Structure 1
């Protein structure tokens, strides 16, 4: 089974159920299935079977139809963040051997800027907005095709190609926090198994209404907020762009049952002052992932809105979910939970040997969700997947009940005078201060200790001083862990999925 076939089966069993709601417009599973088949036929008519197709789109019906339509004809989909610069897009299009682009008309100028690098791209399908733009002057005008026209043009049906489990379905480019982004190749088996196992583990059913506030081009949203609910006949509440006010409105209007987000989003919801317990009264489950959630933020959010946040863990290379806090017992604050079904996690030392409970090591993962490898990067693949185990690069520990705790990214660990300092530990303390809204910690060069701890803080009180914060940390941390440098910022730099851009922080202070 694969996602395309599963959608066909879901539409056959629940044709009149609502598959998604976008800007007040409801679309049934029967209508979605028809649109996917129509788009797939049009791609087939263009000769795109097996080609690599880039979706440079935000959250929209275009993305859903484009994704499932391309998968149906055996194409490989490469989702790309539409906020990327032309050069970033060009790299992924070239490296990913893309032959066809699907994007919004308002982004065509950006595509035009890299037209000289798109010689191998044969078609550019644009999705109309209400911009009223004219494209006749563009050099790429001969390659342009209207999504709307394609969906209206009669097509000749054909027999869908057989999709094999190990065929690559998706190439997801990592965020590229170090070096050039790498394309994680996810197979049909990877995507289907992780969507099904996640849906089963979180008990996502046809009665659920899931808010898709995360970007669909990111694997967290793709699996948890889109593929998992569509698998079981649920309804996806598509949010074009996250905003606290719109999240509360959607939850209230459509009686949403599940919200998935990264910690930054929960912080924005909490700090916005826009919502109340009544807005989230129908929510049965809040899911957090993408980065470690500070325990103080988790507790404050739960107290304010009277909902439970279940933290999980995943990464692009694992489709992405590997752990979640179980729903059949109280979750543990600060933990990413236990193995989901069919996936195994363990903590190992530098030699790959499993460490005793409570000790810190690298988290490694094995299961049907683990990627095939990095596209055109055999050496990186070999150093990342060893004996079937995916090395995540995250430092973790496991307790005696099988719950895992992320300590920090391996590469972000700070060594102060020979002592290991994990940024998350310091961030947790900073977050617990009542006048701190956001915090991020990095290591900076130090002539005496090798490295020192530097903190970046967003405060909700302009009177808070560096000395006050350092004194507060001194009461909660060993001396070598206390930040020797604290910078106040208006906002912590993050990528589009809410992850802290530590490299940008280093650039800020010139290290």
Structure 2
């Protein structure tokens, strides 16, 4: 059996037929229309010289073109390389160079940033809309003028997607996901969705995120016609209106979105159709969970995963849902908890969470050293601490790699620290996450300075101009000296205590 994702898209249409599948900004798009556009666009990509194994960057807002582009890229034998639109030009430049992308599909409003970042690089620009004057590009619509061709064969273990995740060195790493891995991860997520029994969902998450990509593949595994309403980007007021108007039943959201919804006059809307929220991508505080479930009358189903595990490793279902837990292993996933020597620990005891299964990444793009450190004997070492209970439910306790997850996006402290240390007045910096109901975790920096006149607000603005929106610290605390351990390393435990007091 082939796990080629373009074949999965074809099988999905054959199984479910032609129906109104997607509503976007007032216009319905049928499953047949999306299929036909993808078939034609694949031929158009081939006409641009895109072939097996070539990386194609997708830098877009949520639009129907994303749902067309992904299967089109796979049909052409190429590799989907999604990029979140919140990246800075410097971060985007690194991704373009590191991936060796041959083409990029870009939303019109993001073209100016892209053109500046891609200067001097040999890649074709495809605009998902009207091509701005003076820009050397073709429109996505022009790709669809070609006649459909055959699906380019790919093996199960061939690269299907290359997703970039932050790194401790300040450079994002490319996570390699195979057709086989994405197929199985999507199948597992589809099983979870099936347990909810819902058929009408609202999609506010960026499809360029690992979780969003998995949602798309899960949809291809569906066994019933499922209607989705998609937002270009998350707007809480618009979200409430869409749920009320279209009687939507479920929505995947991260904790920061939940908090924004609570901040709206939600009681003014008829949200009685809502059944559940899928939550992942960031820690969900128990207090926020209680507020949301009470306010919206939903059951929140939490899951756990990371880009390196194709976004999903565990999931809660309607029949197996324990507050505080992130669920049981998803289908095709194995978990174990190990001590610092790599030996399994007893049930209920904390240790490092390790994941095995087809959804585990192939490795880091062009980085065998980091790959060998992350995957040992087939087990992905997450750097997260947790434990399993006697029924196999996972509880995540901490993140030993110091990763901060803000609003569903990964923030590595070193990335932020390096920027702050570039300020002439900053002599030392330590960045940690602080629990936050709105964002899951908030980015907070503790610094020492040589110039007493520099203010915390000035340092926040300094970082804001040099980091992606989700990365810069919302608060900077100036101290006489950043806490250090006895061997001169940053004492993050002391820093966290300082930040949370």
- Residue of structure 2 equivalent to 1:186: 177
- Residue of structure 1 equivalent to 2:115: 112
Distance verdict in 2 for CA 1:115–1:320, change over 3 Å: closer
Distance verdict in 2 for CA 1:411–1:223, change over 3 Å: same
Distance verdict in 2 for CA 1:498–1:203, change over 3 Å: farther
- Residue of structure 1 equivalent to 2:24: 22
Contact 1:277 1:306 in 2 (8 A): no
Q: Matched residues in 2 for 1:440 and 1:240: separation?
A: 25
Question: Are 1:82 and 2:85 an aligned pair?
Answer: yes
Instruction: Provide, for residues 274-313 of structure 1, a one-character-per-residue CA deviation record: whole Å limited to 9, x for no partner.
Output: x239643222221110111000000011111111111111
- Residue of structure 1 equivalent to 2:473: 504
- Residue of structure 2 equivalent to 1:259: 251
Q: Matched residues in 1 for 2:358 and 2:273: separation?
A: 33
Contact 1:49 1:73 in 2 (8 A): yes
- Residue of structure 1 equivalent to 2:9: 7
Q: Matched residues in 2 for 1:498 and 1:183: separation?
A: 21
Give runs of aligned pairs for residues 189-200 of structure 1, distance below 5 A.
Answer: 189-200=180-191
Question: Are 1:135 and 2:133 an aligned pair?
Answer: yes
Contact 1:364 1:392 in 2 (8 A): yes
Q: Matched residues in 2 for 1:398 and 1:363: separation?
A: 9
Contact 2:205 2:253 in 1 (8 A): yes
Q: CA deviation at 1:359?
A: 1.9
315-324 vs 231-240, which moves further:
231-240
Instruction: Give the alignment's TM-score, normalised by structure 2.
Output: 0.80
Q: Matched residues in 2 for 1:442 and 1:358: separation?
A: 31
Q: Matched residues in 1 for 2:84 and 2:442: separation?
A: 24
Q: CA deviation at 1:205?
A: 8.7
Q: Matched residues in 1 for 2:371 and 2:59: separation?
A: 26
Question: Are 1:164 and 2:155 an aligned pair?
Answer: yes
Contact 2:188 2:332 in 1 (8 A): yes
Q: CA deviation at 1:197?
A: 1.3
> What is the root-mean-square deviation in Å for CA atoms of aligned residues?
3.1
359-368 vs 17-26, which moves further:
17-26
Alignment: residue pair count: 436
Q: Matched residues in 1 for 2:441 and 2:174: separation?
A: 30
- Residue of structure 2 equivalent to 1:317: 308
Question: Are 1:201 and 2:201 an aligned pair?
Answer: no
* Structure 1 runs (4+) greater than 6 angstroms displaced: 436-439, 495-499
Give runs of aligned pairs for residues 413-424 of structure 1, distance below 5 A.
Answer: none
Instruction: Give the alignment's TM-score, normalised by structure 1.
Output: 0.78
2:358 alignment partner, one of 341, 360, 368: 368
Question: Are 1:335 and 2:304 an aligned pair?
Answer: no
Contact 1:49 1:75 in 2 (8 A): yes
Give runs of aligned pairs for residues 264-279 of structure 1, distance below 5 A.
Answer: 264-273=256-265, 275-276=266-267, 279=270
Q: Matched residues in 2 for 1:31 and 1:340: separation?
A: 32
Q: CA deviation at 1:2?
A: 3.1
Instruction: Provide, for residues 200-242 of structure 1, a one-character-per-residue CA deviation record: whole Å limited to 9, x for no partner.
Output: 1331699612211111100112213x22123314222111010
Q: CA deviation at 1:398?
A: 1.7
Q: CA deviation at 1:19?
A: 2.3
Distance verdict in 2 for CA 1:178–1:20, change over 3 Å: farther
| Runs (5+) with no aligned partner, structure 1 | 415-422, 447-488
Contact 1:205 1:229 in 2 (8 A): no
- Residue of structure 2 equivalent to 1:405: 395
Contact 2:108 2:132 in 1 (8 A): no
